[in-house]
Amino acid sequence: MSVVVAVDGSAESRRAIRLAWQEAAYREAALIAVTAYRSERAAGTPPVIRPVAPARTADEERMLAESGLREAVREALGQDAARVELCVAAGAAGRAIVDTARQARAELIVLASRAGISMLPGTASQHVLRHAHCPVLIAPPSQTG
């Protein structure tokens, strides 16, 4: 059994990590934190178009995403971060979250919510809500600020 939490490095996703940690503890389940990244190739940029700045390699993009994920989990959970499985996937965030949850046979997916102009969830959240095989918990935004 596991709980999957989506992480994008925002303060809201750190709040979601803490909520997912509580849910995983309650369920006596493993916690898997997932993040996604898009390399130039993954985003569909043809190889003949040369960016002004040198593009990162796919490995560099992955290492950067993994470093950000590790840091976000550490900031949210402190020493308990070592007990969280990290998953870094190339491509669209929504698909990465759903695929990770399905492969892990997750019993819950936790997503962050952002207070903003729109009442509609973002593209990744919409994908997860439509395609998840298990319940999805949207962590409420912070009431401060």
Whether 98 maps to a domain, the answer reads yes
d(Cα 62, Cα 83) in Å, to the nearest integer?
21
Whether 145 maps to a domain, the answer reads no
Range of the domain at 84: 2-46+54-139
Whether 73 maps to a domain, the answer reads yes
Strand order in the sheet with 136-139: 85-90, 30-37, 2-6, 108-112, 136-139
User: Any idea what the CATH number is for the domain that residue 114 is in?
Assistant: 3.40.50.620
With residue 6 as reference, give the H or E element that holds it.
strand 2-6
Six-digit token string for 35: 């993040």
Instruction: List Cα–Cα distances, 18 to 28, 99, 141, in angstroms.
Output: 15, 22, 13
Q: 15-29, 47-61, 118-132: which range is least confident on average?
A: 47-61
Residue 67 CB neighbour total at 10 angstroms? 11
Give 16-45 pLDDT, tens digit per residue: 999 999 999 999 999 999 999 987 554 454
**Domains identified in the chain, total number:** 1
Whether 144 maps to a domain, the answer reads no
Give 111-122 pLDDT, tens digit per residue: 998 765 444 567
